[in-house]
Each structure stands twice: as C-alpha cells, then as structure tokens.
Structure 1
Amino acid sequence: MELHQQGDSIFWFDLEANGLKEFISIYVVIDEKISIIETGPASGHARLLDALSTLNISPNDVSYIIPTHIHLDHFGGGGHLMNVCKNAEALVHPRALPHVINPEVLWSGSQKVLGKIADLYGKPTPIDSERVFSVSNGDEIDLGATKLKAIFTPGHASHHITWVRGKTAFVGDSLGLWYKNLKRAFPVTPPRYDHDLALESIAITKELDLEWLNYTHFGPRECKGALVQVEEEFNAWMDIVRKGVTNNSSPEEILEVLLNERDALVESQRSDHPIQFNFGSERVATHIVSVHGMLDWLRRFNDKS
C-alpha cells in the first residue's frame, strides 16, 4: 500500500477499487479528530481498511466519514466503513441524507445508469440515522487544530459539497476529472447535470484562497491557474455541444468534434487510460457519458425557457 503525504497531516492513496489504478483517491486528515474524505465504492472497502492499518489508525479512532457526494464511486462504501468505524459520524448534504439512511432508490437508479458497473461497485449499506448528519452551507467541523468547512458546489450533482481545510479543497467531481499526465481537467457530467450551477460552483471555488485542489479522480492539483482552465474547458465543451444540437449532430458526432478541438482529449480517450474506467470486460466511456449529460441539461433548460 503506497501512501502519499500532503503537508503535515493529509495522507492520500489510490484505492484501486476493482483493481483499477488511478481511478479513486481517498484522503485521510489527521488531527485530534481523524476524518476520511470519500470512501469509494463498496468494492474498495478492504483496500481502505488496509490503508488505515498502514497509517496505524484503528477504525474506532475515526471521528468523521465525509463524502463530497454519494454517487457509488465516492460513497458506495460509506455504510460498510461506518459498520467498522463504530465511533464515527457521517456528514452529508441534506439532499443526500435520506438516501444514505435508505439507499434503495440510490441503488436502483445507479443500476439503471451504470448497468453491470453498479454490481461491480457493490451495493451500498444503510447507515443508522442516529450516526449520519446533514450539514448546511458554510458549516465548519472542528477537528482540533484545524477545521473542515462545507461549501455547497452543485452542478455535477445537486447534493455536492466541496470540503475546505485551510488552503486545501477536496473538490470531488465539482471541477471535473483531472489527471496529471493530461495537464488539464475535463467535465464529468452525468444525468441531471446542471451547467449553470456547475459554473456558479467554479466561481465560488475561485473566490476561496486555495493552494491545492484535491480531486477524487485523481489526486492533488496545484490551484494556481487551474480554475481558469477548468472554467474554460466546461464552457468550451458546452459551446461544442450546443453547436452539435443546432446542427442535429448525434452524441457520437459531437464527441468527434471534441476530440478534434480539445487538447489532450485524444490521449484520455485511449482505452487503457484510467479516465475511461475499465473494469475488465466492462467499460464506462466517460466522455460520451458527459456529452449525454450536457445534452440532457440543454433539453431541460430549453423546456424551462
């Protein structure tokens, strides 16, 4: 188990859920109260426990288990981890609260969207209602020497939270997917994506005094210049998708235009790149899913107009 240290008290590691490398980063914040940010899917539970053991942390010493949002790749293992971290509390967005207490709707919806991938992730386990709490925008969680602040950042999901500790933000999927070798982030826009809210969330993040953006997919990124690139990329993608709608292009044709016009996208489209989320014979073609998510938002946006 390879652990990476960020500063004096943040450790992170590659969960390697389902054997997929560079897919999910898990962060452990060491303070008087220990916090785990993101759990990954249920299929990564054993690896997460191995990481705690490597850090010489007993599950009973964990105080908080904190997702950025509750999609299966971020918090599908939340209930499993809560079952062994007997003293921990889970902190979630109010919209997410009922779905971690009773995850049946979350599970059935995930199966419809993800198909066999959901089964590979594993089914989430309910969390006792007395051990999971919702937070409000701006709430601060006292860890001892430091605090974690909840900043609501909807767009990717309506219940998305960016957690801020000092000059470091745990950004989940609010700023897309980022891989160091690609040198840029790409939007990740699932069904029910909201582009206007996503841009508002990027603007909110730009107002914070940050040095590091800790992505779930994948790893820490220096903040300098990053948020401008993220905003430009989100807008460029939506401009291309809008033009595709005007030209009656298919999602696949829109993706071809993106591949021709956006630097580094061709490299990320490689079948063995982690951004494509290969699970043996099952594969999530990430960018075409994002095209569909943007098209879905445009349809809903036009319906409102």
Structure 2
Amino acid sequence: MSPGDVFDVESCPGVSYVDTGMYDTAEYGSVYVIDADRPAIVDTGIGTNHERILDALDEQGIERSDLEAILVTHVHLDHAGGAGYLAAACPNADVYVHEVGARHLVDPGRLVEGTKEAVGDQWQYYVEPEPVPEDRIVELTDGDTVDLGSRELTAHHAPGHAPHQVVFEDHSCDAVFTADAAGIWIPEQDRVRETSPPPNFDLEQCIDDAELLRRLDPDTLLYAHFGPGPDDTDAVLKQYEQVLRDWVEAVEAEVVERGSEEAAIDHFSATTEVQYVWGEHKAEAETAMNVRGVLHYLKNRGA
C-alpha cells in the first residue's frame, strides 16, 4: 500500500479507507469513508495532504457537497488536523466531536501549542489547522447516536488516551472505529503497539477502554493507525492490555536502571523495532513521545 491508495473493508460493506501518508509514512494513518444515505468520514488526518481524503470521496462516487458528517474520534491533530480543511471543502458536512474537545476545533490555538510540545520535531509534517465554524459543530456525549440513514453509529466515551476520545460502533456491520483506544495496529508486523502520548495517557483508564471494546464484542476493529485489524478481536484487545502494562513497567524500570529519564528515552528510541516499518525518524520520534507520556503518567499517578 502507498499513500493515497484506497481499499474497501471487506467485512464492512460501504466502508473504505485511504492511506493518508501521515508523517510521510505509509501504513500509519487511515481515514475511513462511509457510503451511506448520509455519507460520512471518520477522522481527518493531520491536515497535510487532506486532498487524498477528498480524492477518496471522489473514488467512492461521493460528491463533496453530499458529504454530511465528519466524525472526529478525538481532537489530537493526527485525527482532527484536517477537520477545518475538509469542512471548507464539504460545505454541507457537520463535524461531530466529543463535547470536551469541541472548543479546540473552533479555536485550535491551544491545541497547536500542546501538539508542538508533544511531538517535537515531528511538527515539520503538520500544517496549521483551519478553525471549524462553531455552527458546524455537533457535540457528542457517551452513548449518543449518529444517524446516517442507512446505518447508525454509537459514540462511546473512551478517555484513557485523551479525555475527548470516543470510539464509534457501527451496528450495520458489527465494527468499531477504534481511534487510539485499541493501540496501533502494525499490519506488516502483525502486532499491536502501545500509544501513550503526553499529557493525558492514563494506564488504568486505557485498560478500561480496551475492556469496553471487548464488551462491545465487534467482528472488526477499524484502526486509525492502521487499517482493519485481525479477525480475533478479543485476542488482540487482551494482547493490547498486556502490551500497555509491560510498556509502563519497562519504562519505569529503565529509568531506574539508567539513572535518568533522558537516558531511558534515548534507549527506547534507539532500540525500537518499528524503524523497519516507519523509517528511523518517525519510529524514534514516536517512541520518544510515548516514553514521555508514560513518565508524565508515573509522576502524576494517584494525584
């Protein structure tokens, strides 16, 4: 798969996904297109190369003026950075987002500031987000339903990764758009990887979110990073819970072993196995960010 490629989700008729080429990396960022009575997309990428999402609409025969819903799983800019651009290009689409994050789409200034602090030199891959007009925002709370006519999606609050995160359950094909609640699926390595960025990563709540997904018992997990997951959804969710526990324990132990947080960050960045998939720069930067998220969690645990 290459950036810009569009594939159908075989287990979920009417749903396709595009590789957005996020961070100049193939098989990292996916945005989903839902061909329904009220067409929709799930997530928007970082804004860079948002034209690939518009091209995916074209490929699925959906006119831009016919798109009615832009569903944002959370307002981290790798999921919401393109919302303003796509709202401008698709004038009849409302933007659905959890109520905690809505103000950041209308005025993204603080979100940009926080993102720059979290991602460091990865900011070079981003563009400044465009604000979403306030009258185009639809605020969601836990359990709200998005009616797309021929299918319904239920939003479930999953705040472990971020307080404004929801996952969307598609009842028509028993699928869940997982946001970052199920980790990062790496197709090439056939495994799930942690995602633990600062400042909101919460181990216990992330495990609760994975258990929420298990209770929903979907046939298909549709990852934002990246693509449809494995058939055995329960097994991969159990695996992710253990991945998170092991990851936090490893970071904590490495800080003690090496005597400093920076030394631990350098160690994990230099030894990450995803450099063979994402390339050295993205793999090291992502790993360093995830370590910093765990360190923030450990410092504030129980506060």
TM-score, normalised by the number of residues in structure 2: 0.89
Deviation at 1:259, TM superposition (A): 9.3
Question: What amino acid maps onto 2:161 in structure 1?
Answer: H
CA contact (8 A) 2:268 2:287 kept: no
Please tell me whether residue 179 in structure 1 is matched to residue 182 in structure 2: no
CA contact (8 A) 1:102 1:126 kept: yes
Correspondence for 1:129: 134
SS at match of 2:49: helix
Question: What amino acid maps onto 1:63 in structure 2?
Answer: E
Please tell me whether residue 234 in structure 1 is matched to residue 244 in structure 2: yes
Identity of aligned pairs, percent?
A: 29
Please tell me whether residue 188 in structure 1 is matched to residue 195 in structure 2: yes
SS at match of 2:273: helix
Correspondence for 2:291: 291
CA contact (8 A) 1:240 1:254 kept: no
Correspondence for 2:66: 61
CA contact (8 A) 2:47 2:127 kept: yes
CA contact (8 A) 1:69 1:160 kept: yes
Question: What amino acid maps onto 1:159 in structure 2?
Answer: H
Correspondence for 2:17: 12
Change in CA separation of 1:5 and 1:290 when aligned onto 2, cut-off 3 Å: same
CA contact (8 A) 1:90 1:132 kept: yes
Deviation at 1:243, TM superposition (A): 2.8
CA contact (8 A) 2:122 2:285 kept: no
Residue from 136, 155, 165 that aligns with 1:150: 155
- Taking the aligned partners of 2:35 and 2:295, their CA distance within structure 1 comes to 41
- Taking the aligned partners of 2:124 and 2:203, their CA distance within structure 1 comes to 29
Change in CA separation of 1:87 and 1:188 when aligned onto 2, cut-off 3 Å: same
Please tell me whether residue 86 in structure 1 is matched to residue 91 in structure 2: yes
CA contact (8 A) 1:111 1:119 kept: no
Question: What amino acid maps onto 1:274 in structure 2?
Answer: W
Deviation at 1:233, TM superposition (A): 0.6
Deviation track 1:107-147 (CA, whole Å, cap 9, x = no partner) reads 12222333443343101111111110111101111111211
CA contact (8 A) 1:148 1:165 kept: yes
- Taking the aligned partners of 2:162 and 2:254, their CA distance within structure 1 comes to 24
- Taking the aligned partners of 2:29 and 2:249, their CA distance within structure 1 comes to 29
Q: 23-32 or 284-293, which moves further after superposition?
A: 284-293
Change in CA separation of 1:190 and 1:276 when aligned onto 2, cut-off 3 Å: farther
Give matches, 1:251-266, under 5 Å.
Answer: 251=261, 254=264, 266=272
Unpaired runs of 5+ residues, structure 2, are none
Deviation track 1:264-291 (CA, whole Å, cap 9, x = no partner) reads x853143xx227664xxxx752222211
SS at match of 1:68: coil
SS at match of 2:301: helix
CA contact (8 A) 1:276 1:286 kept: no
Correspondence for 1:211: 219
SS at match of 1:299: helix
Unpaired runs of 5+ residues, structure 1, are none
CA contact (8 A) 2:108 2:131 kept: yes
- Taking the aligned partners of 1:276 and 1:34, their CA distance within structure 2 comes to 37
Q: After TM superposition, which residue ranges in structure 1, 4 or more long, deviate above 3 angstroms?
A: 244-260, 275-278
Residue from 105, 108, 113 that aligns with 2:113: 108
CA contact (8 A) 1:18 1:44 kept: no
SS at match of 1:294: helix
Task: Calculate the aligned-residue CA RMSD, in Å.
Answer: 2.3
- Taking the aligned partners of 1:217 and 1:268, their CA distance within structure 2 comes to 13
SS at match of 2:247: helix
CA contact (8 A) 1:35 1:62 kept: yes
Correspondence for 1:74: 79
Question: What amino acid maps onto 2:252 in structure 1?
Answer: R
Deviation at 1:183, TM superposition (A): 2.0
Question: What amino acid maps onto 1:145 in structure 2?
Answer: S
Change in CA separation of 1:2 and 1:93 when aligned onto 2, cut-off 3 Å: same
- Taking the aligned partners of 1:291 and 1:19, their CA distance within structure 2 comes to 22
- Taking the aligned partners of 1:186 and 1:55, their CA distance within structure 2 comes to 31
TM-score, normalised by the number of residues in structure 1: 0.88
Change in CA separation of 1:209 and 1:42 when aligned onto 2, cut-off 3 Å: same
